[in-house]
Amino acid sequence: MSIDSTWLRCPNCSLPLAELPGRVVGCAAGHRFDLSKHGTLTLLPPRAPHTLGDSREMLEARAALLGSGAFDPIAEAIADACDPVAHGSSEPLRIADLGCGTGHYSAHLAARFPGAEFLLGDRSPVAVRMASKAVPNAVGIVLDLWRPLPIRDAIADVSINVFAPRNPEEFARITKPGGAVVVVVPTDRHLRELRAQGGMLEIPGGKAEMVTDQLARAGFRAGTRHRLEYRIALDAAQARSLVRMGPSAHHVGDGDDDALTEARAGGLESAAPREAKTEVTVSVDVLRFHRG
């Protein structure tokens, strides 16, 4: 099993990484990194915080919800935002999914843009493994989005960042001139029905404006802004998946599963028959920024 090392630089010294014999990649300074049995790499910088990213439970909940098609309109909007870059290039797109999660959105992009090459990066090793299965032949990297990225300069035609931490200066460094970054952020109306029941963390208003300001300071020019809002019908199990798949799940202790089920699913099971559906609002901004 090989890996396309042309994406990669050393997290220790920033020199280019190359594939070496024995399922290893390394740089000219002698730093070496083993390819896992899953075909992924861990490229964390020295003294990286000992965080693990999203847990298996969170990712499985996310996969269940995304597999229902509930967020497919978001995936289509991301692909639409990538279209101008694809049409302006005679070469296959190189797409970096920064905070890739389960790989759901990159899988949609792979279907829209045959031949595109993907780097899938996340802090969670489980996420990187799941995403690599969803997008075969992608480069799967465990990385820290808050630190300098183990990705070469000006290598991505498009970088996508969906409900994930942002590192504007690093996004600018790895994105080609003329390329784009596509960012998806929730509005303060996103999943408001669950939030009203105390089920999830609150979302402050003005996230799109905040992200626009951050990326402008890093050298990006604002492009399109598409507000996507629609309603989905969820049963109680899907409502639980929505709570478990996002940052609210980080605030639940190991022994809090019953409380999560009742309070954090908004009491939906007790408020309606088990087979009943509850309408929930999906509301996000899909933002495209251009790299000059």
**DSSP per residue, the chain:** ----GGGBB-TTT-PBPEEETTTEEE-TT--EEEPPTTS-EE-PPTT------S-HHHHHHHHHHHHTTTTHHHHHHHHHHHHHHHHT-SS--EEEEET-TTSHHHHHHHHHSTT-EEEEEES-HHHHHHHHHHSTT-EEEE--TTS--SB-TT-EEEEEEESS---HHHHHHHEEEEEEEEEEEE-TTTTHHHHHTT-S----S-HHHHHHHHHHHTTEEEEEEEEEEEEEEE-HHHHHHHHHTSGGGGGS-TT-HHHHHHTTTTTHHHHS-TT--EEEEEEEEEEEEEE-
Residue 69, pLDDT > 90, answer yes
Give the whole-angstrom CA distance, residue 121 versus residue 125.
Answer: 9
What pLDDT digit, counting tens, does each position of 185-205 carry? 999 999 998 888 776 778 889
pLDDT above 90 for 91: no
Q: Which of 43-52, 155-164, 215-224, 282-291 has the lowest mean pLDDT?
A: 43-52
Other beta carbons within 10 Å of 262: 16
Q: What is the pLDDT of residue 174?
A: 98
For strand 41-42 and strand 139-142, is the pairing parallel, antiparallel, or unpaired?
parallel
Q: What is the pLDDT of residues 5-20, one digit of tens each?
A: 999 999 999 999 999 9
Our count of domains for the chain comes to 1
List, for residues 70-79, the tens digit of each pLDDT value: 999 999 999 9
Given a cut of 50, whether residue 263 has pLDDT beyond it is no
Residue 158: is its pLDDT beyond 70? yes
Is the pLDDT higher at 244 or at 114?
A: 114
What CATH number has the domain bearing residue 219? Answer: 3.40.50.150
Residue-number span of the structural domain to which 142 is assigned = 5-291
Contact 62, 74 (CB under 8 A): no
- Residue 265: the pLDDT is 40
pLDDT one-digit tens code per residue, 230-258 = 999 988 888 888 887 765 444 444 334 33
pLDDT value of position 268: 42
Mean pLDDT (whole number) for 260-289: 66
